[in-house]
Amino acid sequence: MANWNDHVDHVLIDEAELREIVSRLAAQIDSDYSGEDKNPILVGVLKGSVTFMTDLMRAMKCPAQIDFMRVSSYGNSTVASGNVNIILDLNRPNLPNEDIIVVEDIVDSGRTLKYLVSYLLNKGARSVRTVTLLDKPERREVDFTPEYIGKEIPNAFVIGYGLDYAEKYRTLPYVGVIRSDKI
Ligand code: IMP
């Protein structure tokens, strides 16, 4: 049986550190959304955010709804091209009353989240913030900073904990750097 652990060059963030990161982010969000009328909607960006989102939502104490969007960006598997297309949209009539927190696995060029924030604000959301597990600031191509950042990482291609390379490796329980001969 193929073992995906063997395709990992080294572990960057182990399961214990992931739990610490998620707890810290959940506490930050809880404290910012503590008001009676603040029940945010966590909007996960499919598919990479799924593992992070399911851990984050269970670590949060503030009441939150969940929803999902899916986007595609054309390009090869390791380099996004910058064109963002919405493949699955929110289907909610009452966006103007909603405070949205977009949940992302990793920010690279910044184009996906920058686009989604302005898209949701244009649809009338009351507020839109973003939380990302990982951030690669060295790779930024547009001016964008998430409100909540789990961990800044160097410019390497990472897999696991929801993140994929060519749709593989999402099920690994840690974040690791992929072996260069596997790309
Ligand atoms: P951005 O629009 O360039 O910020 O791209 C963000 C998206 O690129 C993420 O949601 C991931 O799908 C993908 N991505 C960027 N870097 C990595 C990586 O190191 N591993 C896996 N996916 C990545």
Q: How far separated are the first and last CA of the chain, in Å rounded?
A: 20
107 Cβ below 6 A of ligand 1: yes
Q: Which residue type occupies 138?
A: E
Secondary-structure class of domain 15-30+38-158 per CATH: alpha beta
Q: Where are the domains of the chain?
A: 15-30+38-158
Instruction: Say how many Å lie between the CA of residue 38 and the centre of ligand 1.
Output: 29
Among 10-24, 25-39, 106-120, 162-176, which stretch is predicted with the lowest mean pLDDT?
25-39
Residue 150: partners with Cβ closer than 8 Å, 6 or more residues away: 21, 22, 24, 25, 52, 131, 132, 133, 134, 135
Instruction: State the pLDDT at residue 29.
Output: 98
- Per-residue pLDDT for 74 more than 90? no
43 Cβ below 6 A of ligand 1: no
Set 99, 105, 108, 135: catalytic member: 108
Instruction: Say how many Å lie between the CA of residue 108 and the centre of ligand 1.
Output: 5
Note if the bond before 123 is cis, omega within 30 degrees.
no
Bridge pairing between strands 99-107 and 80-88: unpaired
Atom of ligand 1 nearest to the CA of 114: 2
175 Cβ below 6 A of ligand 1: no
Bridge pairing between strands 175-178 and 99-107: unpaired
Q: Which residue puts its alpha carbon closest to atom 15 of ligand 1?
A: 108
137-147 per-position pLDDT tens digit = 999 999 999 99
User: CA-to-CA distance for 123 and 32, rounded, in angstroms?
Assistant: 23
| Structural contact between residues 115 and 143, judged by C-beta atoms closer than 8 angstroms | no
130-170 per-position pLDDT tens digit = 999 999 999 999 999 999 999 999 999 999 999 999 999 99
Q: Which residue puts its alpha carbon closest to atom 19 of ligand 1?
A: 157
| Structural contact between residues 146 and 117, judged by C-beta atoms closer than 8 angstroms | no
Instruction: For residue 46, list its beta bridge partners.
Output: 70
105 catalytically annotated: no
Residue 96 in tokens: 């103007």
User: CA-to-CA distance for 144 and 112, rounded, in angstroms?
Assistant: 10
For residue 58, CA distances in Å to 23, 40, 90, 129 come to: 10, 14, 22, 19
75-125 per-position pLDDT tens digit = 555 655 567 899 999 988 889 889 999 999 999 999 999 999 999 999 999
